[in-house]
Amino acid sequence: MPRGRKRRKRGKGFAANALTVVRQAREAAKSALESLRREIHATTTKLATLVAEEKSFRLDLFGGSPRRGRPPGRPRKARGRAAATGSKPRARRKGTPRAERFFQKLGATFTLEDVRKLAGRKAGISLAQWSRAKRIRKTGKGYQKVTAA
């Protein structure tokens, strides 16, 4: 009689074995996680004590308050464009506005060129201010001052 292959029976034993392996892995992971939590807690406690020791050491060494920042009584450095260029900041302009000074120097009628000679780059701004304030009006050849009547 020919011999055939022997077959293994896969039954309850195999499934029970797999479940046991999974259960053991879960237990191992659970215990590893718990020990990791204990280690983190211990390290945090040690760190807190070290920080407290550092603060007291600095207090003993330097005295005063343990706060950070600029020590009191020192002048602040200037910030901004003046500090970068090394020049003093401009003082506020005193007196009448520049557009007013230009307006007083002009005659009763004037052209754009006359204003440009006086005001330079600011000519457009001055004309816009004066026209909004209804102090000038446009004529055929140029501009004319409006008299208050």
Residue 71's pLDDT is what?
A: 63
Single-letter code of the amino acid located at 142: G
What is the signed CA dihedral for 62, 66, 69, 70, rounded to 10 degrees?
-40
Calpha distance 106→132 (Å, rounded): 18
Please state whether the predicted TM-score (pTM) of the whole model is above 0.85: no
| 126-to-2, 92, 101, 135 alpha-carbon distances in Å | 119, 20, 10, 11
At 48, the pLDDT band (50, 70, 90 cuts) reads very high
Q: What is the pLDDT of residues 130-143, one digit of tens each?
A: 888 888 888 888 88
| 1-to-4, 6, 7, 51, 115 alpha-carbon distances in Å | 9, 15, 18, 85, 127
Domain assignments of the chain as residue spans, ordered by start? 13-65, 95-145
Residue 23's pLDDT is what?
A: 93
Topology of the domain comprising 95-145: Arc Repressor Mutant, subunit A (1.10.10)
